[in-house]
Chains A and B, each alone.
Chain A
Amino acid sequence: MGKTPAAVIGVGQTHHRAKREDVSMAGLCREAMDRALEDAGMTLDEIDAIVVGKAPDLFEGVMMPELYLAEALGAVGKPLLRVHTAGSVGGSTAIVAASLVQSGVHRKVLTVAFEKQSESNAMWALSVPVPFVMPVHAGAGGYFAPHVRSYIRRSGAPSHIGAIVAAKDRTNALKNPYAHLHNEGTTVESVLASQMLWDPIRYDETCPSSDGACALVIAADDVAAASLNPAWIHGTVMRSEPTTAAERDQVNPQAGRDAAAALWKQAGITSPIDEIDAAEIYVPFSWFEPMWLENLGFAAEGEGWRLTEAGETAMTGRLPVNCSGGVLSSNPIGASGMLRFGEAALQVRGAAGEHQVDGARKALGHAYGGGSQFFAMWVVGADRPTN
C-alpha cells in the first residue's frame, strides 16, 4: 500500500477572537484560506479539491454549511468534501485532505476548518436535555471534569499540575499574534486563584470560546519539492471507539493509545520524546496535557505530570508542547484540531515566528473529540520521508 509523499506548503489562520462580528462564516474561512494560499504562492484556481471541516451544526444553526459555502470557498466545479468528527474534526479534515494527495487522486488540495462560536452558545448546544435521563450534563467541562479527577487519583499528581499547564500555554500565547487570549502575567498562583467552574477544573484551566478558521494547502511530491520550506507528512492516523462501554478507559483511551502506536510506527519513530521536537496537543482543559502525554507514549502511564512539573513541556524543555498557546488560548472548535496540525507544520518549516522552537525537524499535531472517542494525529517533518 504505497503512499505518495505529500507536504503542507501553505498555512493560514485568522486572528482568533471571542466575536468576529465583522465577517460572515464565508468571510472567516476566506481569511484563513487566502493566507494559506498566499503562503503557498498559489491561487484558488490552481486548487484541485476543497475539504472543509467544522464541529456540530448546532453551534451555528446552519445545517450543512458547506452547501451555502461552496461558491465562496471556490469549490465550484471542484470536489467539495465536508468532514465531521466533533472536536477532532480539524485534525481529521486535514488527514482526509492529505489522503487525497497521498493516494494520487489530487495534486493540490486546500483544506479549511472553522467555527463561529459567537453565533450561538456551545455550552447550550452540548447540553440539550434528553428525555428520561438525568439532566446533570454541563457542557464539555462537565463531561471531562470527572475524568480529570480520575486521572489525578490514578496518577497521584499534585493538584497544581493543571495550573502549570494553563500558565505555560497562556504565556506561550503572548508570542502568537493569532491567539485569542493574550493574558499578560498568568501564573500558577493566578490560575489556582481563579474560579472553580467544574471542580476540579478552574476558569483559567478552561479553553475560551472563539471565532476563527485555519486553512492548509497540501501538495504532491513534485509541487512540494519546488516549495521553499515544505512540511512533509510522515504519518497520519485516525482511530475511534464507543463513547461509553463497560470498563472503558476514559482517562487513557485505547483508541488514542492505538493511534499513537500506529503513528510512531508509520513515521519511523521509536522514542517519541527524543525524536519529536515540538508537539501541538489538543488540550482544551489544562489537565489533558499530562493525560495525553501518557496516551501518546511520551511518558509512561501515571508519569506524564512529571514532565509538566519539571518544565519539560515549556518552550525551553525537552518536549515543547503547545508553543502556540494551544486550545487553552484559542478555541474555534472546528478549527482547533487543524490549528494543532498547522502549528506543527509551521514549526518544522521554521515559520512559527516568536514561538518557534529552534531547529525543529519533526513535530506532532494532535486532536481528539467527542467523549475522548475520536483521535486524529499526524507527524510532519522538515525532511522528505524516506519510508
Chain B
Amino acid sequence: MSRTLSAPVTVSFDYTRSVGPVLGRFLTGLRDGQFVGARLSDGRVVVPPPEFDPVTHRATADFVDVAETGTVTSWTWVSEPVAGQPFDRPFAFALVTLDGTDAPLLHAVDVASPDEISTGLKVRARWATERTGAITDVVFVPDTGTAAAAAPVAGEGEVTGIVTPVSLDYTYAASPEESAFFRGLAEGRLVAQRCPQCRKVYVPPRPACPVDGVPTVEEIELSDTGTVTTFCIVNVPFLGQKITPPYVSAYILLDGADIALQHLILDIPVEEIRMGLRVKAVWKPREEWGTTIENISHFAPTGDADADYDTYKHHL
C-alpha cells in the first residue's frame, strides 16, 4: 500500500480574453482571411503586431496588410500531437517569416512527414472555411504556387475578445499523515496527532507542527463529538459549488483537538445554529464509506447544553 492517497483533479474554465484594439485588429484580419501586421518605429514590419512599440512604447497604430506567403526559418516536428494542438496527426511547428515582414510568426505547417519540411521552404496560408477571429483560423502548407482564396466569412465589426478554454489535469496527493487520517475515516475512526513540543493536537494530522516545525508522531484517536466555534451560512450560489445553498459551513472543535475542522451542520434550523453548539458526527451508511471526510455526512446537535464560551474562545 502506498504511503499516500492520491486522486485526480481537473481544473477547467473557459476564460474570456479581451484582446484590446491591436490584437483585435490582427484577429479581425484572420477572420476576414487577411494577415494584418504593424510597421514599427524602427521600420520593421511585424506579424502579429505587438500592442506597444518596443522602442517608443507607444500603442501600435500603423497597420499594414501582409502577404499570405512566406518562408520557414526554423521548425520542429511534432510526432505525437496532444489535445488542443492544431492537428490530431503529426505536423510541424515552424517559424514562418511572411513575405515583406521582418520577424517570424510561430505557426503550424501541415505536412505528413519531417522529410517534407526544411528551413527555407516556401509556405502559404490555408484558411479555415469557418473562421471566428482566432489564430486557429489559418495554418500553413507548402506553397505550390497556386493560391486558394479564403472563403468569405460573414463576420461583422471588430473582434474584441476570444474564449480560451483552459483545462489542467493533475494528481492530488495527500501527505502521509493526512492519508492516515483519511484511511482512519474509512474505518470510522478520527485519527489525530500531538506535537511533542507544544502538545497541541492536530486533526487532520500534518507532516509537522506549523508552530514548532517538528514531526507530530504521537497518534491519538478522537471522538466524533465537538463544539461549533464559529460558522457562516452560505446563501450564495457559485460555479463549481458542491452543496446546494443555503448551508452552514462551520468550524468544529472535536473534543480533545486543538484546531477546528470545517464541516457541514444539518438537522437544525439554520437560524438556531450558534457558537458553542455541541454537535456529533452523522456518518453515512458504512457501505458508502471511502477514504474521505465525506464519510461524515454532516454534524448534528447532540442536544447537550452549549459549551461555555471560555472553553473555545481561544480557537477563534
Contact = CB atoms under 8 A, between A and B. Distances in A.
A76 interface: yes
Contacts of A1: none
Interface in A128-171: 128-139, 141-142, 145-147, 149-150, 153-154
Nearest to B251: A146
Contact of A135 (B9, B23, B243, B316): B243
Contact of B18 (A23, A123, A134): A23
Contacts, number: 190
Given A138-B249, A251-B316, A149 B230 contact: yes
Given A22-B20, A146-B231, A150-B230, A136 B263 contact: yes
Given A139-B238, A146-B249, A197-B236, A247 B315 contact: yes
Interface residues of chain B: helix, strand, loop or mixed (majority) = mixed
Nearest to B185: A132
B50 interface: yes
Interface residues of B, number: 69
A118 interface: yes
Given A27-B51, A196-B235, A200-B232, A136 B249 contact: yes
A133 B175 CA distance: 13
B210 A244 contact: yes
Contact of B54 (A71, A197, A199): A71
B240 A154 contact: no
A344 B100 CA distance: 51
Interface string B83-115: 000000000000000000000000000000000
Interface string A200-231: 11000000000000000000000000000000
B138 to A, nearest CB: 21
Nearest to B234: A138
Nearest to B315: A247
Given A136-B247, A142-B234, A127 B241 contact: yes
Interface string A60-80: 110000000001101010000
A21 interface: yes
A305 B208 CA distance: 37
A247 B314 contact: yes
A79 to B, nearest CB: 17
Contact of A150 (B160, B242, B263, B316): B316
B73 interface: no
Contact of B235 (A118, A132, A198): A198
B258 interface: yes
A144 to B, nearest CB: 8
A149 B50 contact: no
Nearest to A45: B57
A300 interface: no
Nearest to A211: B18
A99 interface: no
A72 B19 CA distance: 13
Interface in B1-26: 5-7, 9, 11, 13, 15-21, 23
Interface string A111-133: 00000101111011101111111
B210 A22 contact: no
B44 to A, nearest CB: 14
Contact of A142 (B13, B52, B230, B249): B249
B19 A24 contact: yes
Contact of A138 (B18, B166, B238): B238
A30 B22 CA distance: 14
Interface stretch (B61-69, B141-149, B290-298): B290-298
Contacts of A137: 249, 262
Interface of A: 19-24, 26-27, 30, 43-45, 58, 60-61, 71-72, 74, 76, 116, 118-121, 123-125, 127-139, 141-142, 145-147, 149-150, 153-154, 195-201, 242, 244-247, 249-251
Given A60-B15, A124-B13, A247-B258, 5 more contacts: A24-B19, A58-B11, A71-B50, A142-B249, A245-B259
Interface of B: 5-7, 9, 11, 13, 15-21, 23, 50-52, 54, 57, 59, 160-161, 164, 166, 172, 174, 178, 182, 195, 198, 200-202, 210-211, 229-236, 238-243, 247, 249-251, 258-259, 262-264, 275, 291-294, 296, 309, 313-316
Closest 4 CB pairs of A and B: A145-B232, A24-B20, A199-B233, A131-B7
10 contacts: A20-B18, A24-B19, A24-B20, A134-B296, A150-B229, A153-B316, A195-B235, A199-B233, A246-B198, A246-B202
